[in-house]
Chains A and B, each alone.
Chain A
Amino acid sequence: MKHQRIAFVIMLAFFCLAPLVLYPVFLMKVMCFALFACAFNLLVGFGGLLSFGHAMFLGTAGYASAHAAKVWGFTPELAILFGTFASTGLGVVTGLLAIRRQGIYFAMITLALAQMIFFYYLQVPFTHGEDGIQAVPRGRLFGAIDLANIWNMYATVAVVFFGGFLLIYRAIHSPFGQVLKAIRENEPRAISLGYDTTRYKFLAFVLSAALAGLAGATKAIVFQLASLTDAHWTMSGEVVLMTLLGGMGTVFGPVVGALIIITLENYLSQLGSWVTVVQGVIFVICVLTFRRGVIGEIANLIKKPL
Chain B
Amino acid sequence: MAVVRKITVAVTLALGAMAAQAQVSDGVIKIGVMSDMSSLYSDIGGPGSVAAARMAVEDFGAAKKGMKVEIVSADHQNKPDVGSGIARQWYDTDKVDAIFDVPNSGVALAINQLTREKGKAFINSGAASSDLTGKACSPNTVHWTYDTWMLANGTGSAIVKTGGDSWFFLTADYAFGHALERDTEAVVQKNGGKVLGKVRVPINTQDFSSFLLQAQSSKAKIIGLANAGGDTINSIKQASEFGIVKGGQSLAGLLVFISDVHGLGLNTAQGLIFTETFYWDLNDQTRAFAKRMAAANNGKYPTMVQAGVYAGVLHYLKAVEAAKTDDGTKVVAKMKELPTDDPLFGKGRIRADGRKIHPAYLVEVKKPSESKGPYDYYKIRTQIPADQAFRPEKDGGCSLIK
Contacts and interface: CB of A to CB of B under 8 A. Distances in A.
Whether A and B touch directly in their complex, counting CB atoms under 8 A apart, is answered as yes
Interface residues of A, number: 36
Nearest to B6: A14
B75 interface: yes
B75 A229 contact: no
**Interface residues of B, dominant DSSP:** helix
B37 A225 contact: no
B1 A298 contact: yes
A162 interface: no
B92 A129 contact: no
Interface in A196-251: 223-225, 227, 229-230
Nearest to A306: B2
A134 B1 contact: no
A259 B6 CA distance: 9
The DSSP consensus for interface residues of chain A is: helix
A269 B17 CA distance: 16
Contacts of B14: 21-22
B79 A227 contact: yes
Interface string B185-206: 0000000000000000011000
Given A225-B84, A252-B2, A298-B1, A134 B109 contact: yes
Contacts of A273: 38
A103 to B, nearest CB: 30
Interface string B2-34: 110110011001100110000000000000000
Contacts of A305: none
B174 interface: yes
Given A131-B109, A294-B2, A295-B2, A25 B80 contact: no
Interface string B211-250: 0000000000000000000000000000000000000000
A56 interface: no
B45 interface: no
Interface in A1-56: 10, 14, 18, 21-23, 25-26
A132 B81 contact: yes
B214 to A, nearest CB: 17
A224 B80 CA distance: 11
Interface string A116-141: 00000010000011111011000000
A22 B13 contact: yes
Contacts of A131: 80, 105-106, 109-110, 174-175
Given A122-B202, A272-B37, A298-B2, A227 B13 contact: no
A263 B9 contact: yes
A129 B6 contact: no
Contact of A25 (B2, B88, B173): B88
A230 B80 CA distance: 12
Contacts of A22: 10, 13-14, 17
Contacts of B294: none
Given A22-B13, A259-B6, A130 B174 contact: yes
B11 to A, nearest CB: 8
B2 A272 contact: no
A256 interface: yes
B346 to A, nearest CB: 33
Contacts of A129: 173-174, 202
24 contacts: A10-B6, A14-B10, A21-B13, A22-B17, A23-B93, A25-B92, A122-B173, A128-B175, A129-B173, A130-B203, A131-B80, A131-B106, A131-B175, A132-B80, A132-B106, A223-B84, A229-B81, A229-B82, A230-B81, A252-B2, A259-B9, A269-B74, A270-B75, A297-B1
Interface of A: 10, 14, 18, 21-23, 25-26, 122, 128-132, 134-135, 223-225, 227, 229-230, 252, 256, 259-260, 263, 269-270, 272-273, 294-295, 297-298, 301
Given A23-B89, A131-B174, A134-B113, 5 more contacts: A129-B173, A135-B113, A256-B2, A295-B2, A298-B1
